[in-house]
Structure 1
Amino acid sequence: MTDRINDIFIQARQGSVAAIIQVLNQQLATLDVRIRAIFSDGVLQLLCEAPQIEQLEQSNLVQQVKHILEDISPRNIRKVNINSRIVQEQQLLWLDEITRDPKDKLLWSQQITLNRPNIFKQIARHFQTSKPKPTPIYISKSVDHAQMEKQNQFQLGMMGGFFLSMLMLVLGIQVNKWLNFSRLDRISTTENTTLQSPDPTIKNSEDTIAESKEAFAQAVRLAQEAAADGKIAQSKEEWIAIASKWQEASQLMASVSPNYSRYDVAVNRAELYQKYSDIAKQEADKI
Structure 2
Amino acid sequence: MNDIAKQAHNGRVAAIIQVINEQMTDLGVSTRAVFTHDVLQLLCEANNPESLDQSIIVSKIRDILESISPRNIHRVRIHSRILQEQQLLWLQNIIQNPEEQLLWSEEIILRKSNFLTHWFKPSSSQSSIPNQPIVNHSSSTFVSQKPPSPLSLIVGVGLSIVLGLIGFWLYSELQFQLFNALQSNRKTPVDVSPSPVQPLSSAEQFSQGVKLATEAAAEGKVADTRQEWLEIAQKWQQAADLMAAVSPDFERYPTAQNRAALYRRNQEQAQQKADALNN
TM-score by length of 2: 0.44
User: Which structure carries more relative contact order (alpha carbon 8 Å, separation 6+)?
Assistant: 2
The structure whose Rg is larger is 2
Q: Which has the higher helix share?
A: 1
